[in-house]
Homo-oligomer: A and B are copies of this chain.
Amino acid sequence: MMVNMREVAIIGVGLTKFGERWEHGLRDLMAEAGLNALNDANITSNDVEMLYGGVMASGRFIGQEHIAALLADQLGFKNIPAVRVENACASGGTALRQGYIAVASGIHDIVAVGGVEKMTDVTPSEATSALGGAGDQEWELGQGITFPGLYALMAKRHMHDFGTTEEQMAAVSVKNHKNAVKNKYAQFRREITIDEVLKSKPVADPLKILDCSPISDGAAAVILAPLEIAKKYNDTPIKIAASTQATDTLSLAERESITSLKAAQISGEKAFKQAKVKPSDIDVAEVHDCFSIAEILAMEDLGFYKKGKAAKAIADGETALGSKLSVNTSGGLKGCGHPVGATGVKQAVEITWQLRGEAADRQVNGAEIGLAHNVGGSGATAVVHIMKRIN
């Protein structure tokens, strides 16, 4: 019904450097990002009325659940309601949408949204197992497929149906690493070549290690407020023009198609409708490139390209920094890193910087409308946000 809901703005953002943060625990990372966001919004912890924390698998990674209360305490938000949300790799985007609903509802004015994951305290094989919790354990992972294997199936079918090539997929990683060089928060600040991707270690055919986003530590935070009072805190509040979410089956076997993510298509369509804009109106987008093929699916699912046309367009440079639509200027999951619970919030941070004109060397000139697309698991959850600069 969407009755009586208030408009919502982002008034502060904060990030940690993503990467192998051996010297910091989960609560340190979240405090760093959270304090950066509070400072950016010109508020203190006493101003925050509620906290949402997106974390995927802290139980598996560090033995710690009950993360939202922990973060509220660590950030000095004493006694406020705090809620951890978990939707696999879309935990961050989901947390943002819950914060949006809370502010829009009128129940709270200033709401903090954090996303965090501390992934490097376990072995790579333990991490792969924990991430597999995003897929269907009983019907798929438990039968022997790995999480990269699920995306490898999607890639193989996309290659079969649309002639997508391994070189085109590699071009996604090359573009995103190139953007990451310009982002001081990114995990991999070095360029790679198509040839390096193609010759990198095989993970799940046709995906190589350089088609895959890394295991990362990191945190991100945003502060939300009703748009009507946002200017009190920040000269350039960023309006959340749409916040949408959809689900699909966990198991690929039950889907109508594995060359598109239905949840992303649905949440994308709803987001464009809610924001009253078209794909061609978007100036800058962060999309969920957990694997190179995933960015190709995203560009098609969101309507930026017709089915089967995105891979060539990306390889031709149509989504490079400074092109008509700049995609994954942060470096994306591949270049910037993918601390799973943090990613969806980090996307909103990057879009906020871009729309404020604060993205430094990677600034998209004149960016006014941005989109963030966050996917959970192999597509059972998708969250889309469209954000606009308020002049």
Contacts and interface: CB of A to CB of B under 8 A. Distances in A.
Interface in A35-63: 56-60, 62-63
Q: Chain A interface: which size bin?
A: 35 or more
A142 B4 CA distance: 47
A25 B94 CA distance: 26
A130 interface: yes
Total copies of this chain within the assembly: 2
Contacts of A109: 1
B87 A66 contact: yes
Contacts of A246: 79-81
Interface string A73-102: 100011111111111100000100110011
Contacts of A215: none
A234 interface: no
Contacts of A5: 4, 105-107
Interface stretch (A175-183, A206-214, A353-361, A375-383): A375-383
A250 interface: yes
Interface stretch (A133-141, A280-288, A292-300): A133-141
B69 A377 contact: yes
Contacts of A80: 246-247
10 contacts: A3-B6, A4-B4, A57-B59, A59-B60, A66-B86, A72-B247, A73-B254, A79-B266, A83-B245, A85-B86
Interface of A: 1-6, 25, 27, 56-60, 62-70, 72-73, 77-88, 94, 97-98, 101-102, 104-109, 129-130, 132-138, 141-142, 244-250, 254, 262-263, 266, 376-377, 380-381
